[in-house]
């Protein structure tokens, strides 16, 4: 409690010193004409808001070219991510049809139970025709495979002939196979892989197919999406301009990576399945969770990397933009100037705000002090009394006895007696009459009650227990 009181007192003293100093700087003391102080107050207020508007405008004008590039890039990336989200959702919905569609679900259930090769071939045709209907309108869908979980020796259903038996057998023994089973029917996106002797990479969507009613696991569906065509949809402007990738970076491009930093899709096919930190030296995958810009080295050039999350699959879309080193240097200089200008601006604004507040107070405080004649003539002994003692002295001068005073201020009668003794000592008087006269002279009572109290005291009628009216 005492510490809080000390802090409050120190704050008040500092506040008073600051206000006095500011009033002196602006020459707005009590002797200064009112009109002059009003003009200064208006000038300070105008300067405060004018400087604020000027600073906001200058900050917009000081946006470095790097930041402008980032803004334009993010607008384009948001549209690409939105289109990508629609594509990925469509592929997941296709795989979900084998669970939600009763006819397809029954077909896969029959496939697990029948042994007649002819019936198996019919199911394989239905499986293939269903998926070819989607691939006809979307060339990203290249192939599909359905693997029986319960019978590893059963031949897998395939949409085309791209996926080799060797790949299927290897996949059965892989960690990705167990990951899809453990997912319990949820979509699992796997890293790109080559499924044949061709050099093309394929993104793989995996889902465990369960029985529609019992929920028992029937098998695993794999959709193979051609990375090349997915890259065409992401970097459509790049390919439309006839850009040839000879290993040298000629313009900006987009690449897709997963949450662990593995490159999923890029115009530079030799980088697929590599860690992005090798392709973009100096890039930390841990920082991709926040939307920030990076500068690093790629393709023997300085590049600006801008990230945009693909929340649907936990991926990230990166825009790699070749920039001149001078742009990066200018951007850093402008950021330093902005930080310095912020510091100067805040300091000036605080000074103007406190100055305006101090001058504003003088406009209304000074006339009040000039009009109160008795405040300038208050006796020195009055400063020695605390608020409780002033209250008791005022009630004494109005004719209240100790018991009535104690009742009015809600304290014990002995406390009142102790305070009165302290008052006598500070006023250097020996009785209630002298103390009451000093209280009336100091203006501690209102005018009407003060005059009556003085008359009663002089008449020797002070000790009455009643309040003098």
Position 102 confidence tier, pLDDT thresholds 50, 70, 90: very high
More confidently predicted of 300 and 192: 192
Position 208 confidence tier, pLDDT thresholds 50, 70, 90: very high
Rounded CA separation 324/379 (Å):
78
Query: Does residue 332 surpass a pLDDT of 70?
Result: no
Distance (Å) of CA 313 to CA 21, 233, 273: 62, 17, 17
| Phi and psi, residue 158, nearest 5° | -135, 150
| Phi and psi, residue 363, nearest 5° | -65, -30
Mean pLDDT taken over the chain: 80
**In terms of Cα–Cα distance, which of 441, 438, 433 is closest to 457?**
433
Rounded CA separation 245/147 (Å):
38
The pLDDT score that the predictor gives to residue 218 is 92
The pLDDT score that the predictor gives to residue 347 is 87
The pLDDT score that the predictor gives to residue 225 is 93
- State which of 30-44, 68-82, 231-245 shows the largest mean pLDDT: 68-82
- At 302 the three-state DSSP class reads strand
Rounded CA separation 356/45 (Å):
6
Query: Does residue 296 surpass a pLDDT of 70?
Result: yes
Contact 168, 145 (CB under 8 A): yes
Distance from CA of residue 76 to its chain's centroid?
23
The pLDDT score that the predictor gives to residue 145 is 94
- At 192 the three-state DSSP class reads strand
Please count the residues of the chain.
469
Buried b (16+ CB within 10 A) or exposed e, 241-277: eeeeeeeebeebbbbbbbeebbbbbbbbbebbeeebe
The pLDDT score that the predictor gives to residue 277 is 83
Position 85 confidence tier, pLDDT thresholds 50, 70, 90: very high
Question: What is the value of pTM for the model shown?
Answer: 0.58
- 234 CB neighbour count, 10 Å cutoff: 23
The pLDDT score that the predictor gives to residue 291 is 66
Ordered strands of the 253-257 beta sheet: 263-265, 253-257, 315-322, 301-310, 293-298
Contact 296, 281 (CB under 8 A): yes
Which tens digits make up the pLDDT trace of 350-383?
A: 888 888 888 777 776 544 444 444 444 677 788 8
Which tens digits make up the pLDDT trace of 161-205?
A: 888 888 888 899 999 999 999 998 999 999 898 887 668 899 999
Between the two ends of the chain, the Cα-to-Cα distance in Å is: 42
Lowest-pLDDT range of 2-11, 104-113, 156-165, 447-456: 447-456
pLDDT above 90 covers a percentage of the chain that reads: 23
pLDDT above 70 covers a percentage of the chain that reads: 80
The pLDDT score that the predictor gives to residue 219 is 93
Lowest-pLDDT range of 108-122, 131-145, 365-379: 365-379
Rounded CA separation 251/304 (Å):
12
Q: Specify the DSSP class assigned to residue 281.
A: B
Q: What angle do CA 344, 346, 352 make, to 5 degrees?
A: 100
Q: Stretch 132-152: mean pLDDT, rounded?
A: 90
The pLDDT score that the predictor gives to residue 222 is 95
CA atoms within 13 A on the CB side of 45: 10
């Amino acid at each position: 409690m005492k510490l809080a009181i000390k802090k409050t007192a120190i704050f008040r003293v500092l506040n008073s010193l600051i206000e006095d100093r500011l009033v002196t700087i602006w020459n707005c003391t009590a002797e200064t004409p009112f009109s002059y102080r009003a003009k200064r107050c208006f000038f300070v207020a105008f300067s405060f808001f004018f400087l604020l508007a000027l600073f906001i405008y200058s900050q917009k004008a000081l946006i470095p070219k790097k930041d402008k590039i980032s803004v334009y890039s993010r607008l384009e990336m948001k549209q690409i991510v939105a289109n990508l989200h629609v594509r990925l959702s469509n592929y997941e919905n296709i795989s979900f049809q084998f669970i939600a569609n009763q006819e397809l679900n029954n077909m896969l259930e029959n496939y697990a139970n029948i042994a007649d090769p002819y019936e198996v071939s019919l199911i394989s045709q239905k499986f293939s025709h269903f998926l070819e209907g989607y691939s006809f309108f979307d060339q990203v869908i290249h192939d599909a495979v359905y693997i029986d979980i319960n019978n590893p020796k059963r031949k897998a259903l395939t949409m085309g002939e791209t996926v080799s038996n060797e790949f299927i057998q290897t996949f059965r023994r892989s960690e990705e196979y167990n990951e899809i089973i453990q997912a319990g029917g949820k979509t699992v996106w796997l890293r790109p892989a080559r499924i044949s002797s061709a050099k093309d990479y394929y993104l793989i969507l995996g889902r465990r197919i369960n029985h529609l009613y019992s929920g028992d696991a029937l098998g695993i569906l794999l959709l193979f999406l051609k990375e090349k065509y997915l890259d065409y949809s992401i970097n459509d402007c790049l390919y439309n301009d006839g850009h040839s990738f000879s290993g040298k970076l000629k313009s900006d491009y987009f690449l897709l990576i997963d949450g662990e930093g593995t490159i999923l899709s890029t115009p530079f096919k030799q980088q697929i399945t590599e860690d992005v930190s090798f392709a973009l030296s100096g890039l930390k995958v841990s920082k991709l969770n926040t939307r920030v810009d990076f500068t690093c080295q790629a393709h023997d050039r300085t590049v600006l990397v801008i990230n945009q999350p693909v929340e649907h699959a936990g991926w990230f879309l990166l825009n790699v933009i070749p920039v001149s080193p001078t742009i990066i240097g200018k951007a850093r200089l402008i950021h330093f100037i902005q930080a310095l200008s912020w510091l100067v601006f805040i300091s000036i604004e605080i000074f103007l705000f406190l100055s305006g507040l101090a001058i504003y107070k003088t406009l209304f405080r000074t006339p009040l002090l000039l009009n109160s004649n008795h405040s300038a003539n208050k006796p020195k002994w009055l400063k020695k009394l605390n608020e409780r003692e002033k209250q008791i002295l005022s009630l004494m001068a109005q004719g209240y006895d100790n018991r009535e005073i104690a009742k009015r201020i809600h304290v014990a009668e002995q406390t009142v007696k102790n305070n009165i003794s302290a008052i006598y000592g500070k006023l250097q008087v020996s009785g209630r009459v002298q103390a009451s006269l000093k209280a009336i002279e100091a203006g501690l009572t209102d005018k009407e009650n003060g005059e009556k109290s003085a008359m009663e005291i002089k008449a020797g009628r002070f000790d009455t227990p009643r309040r003098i009216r």
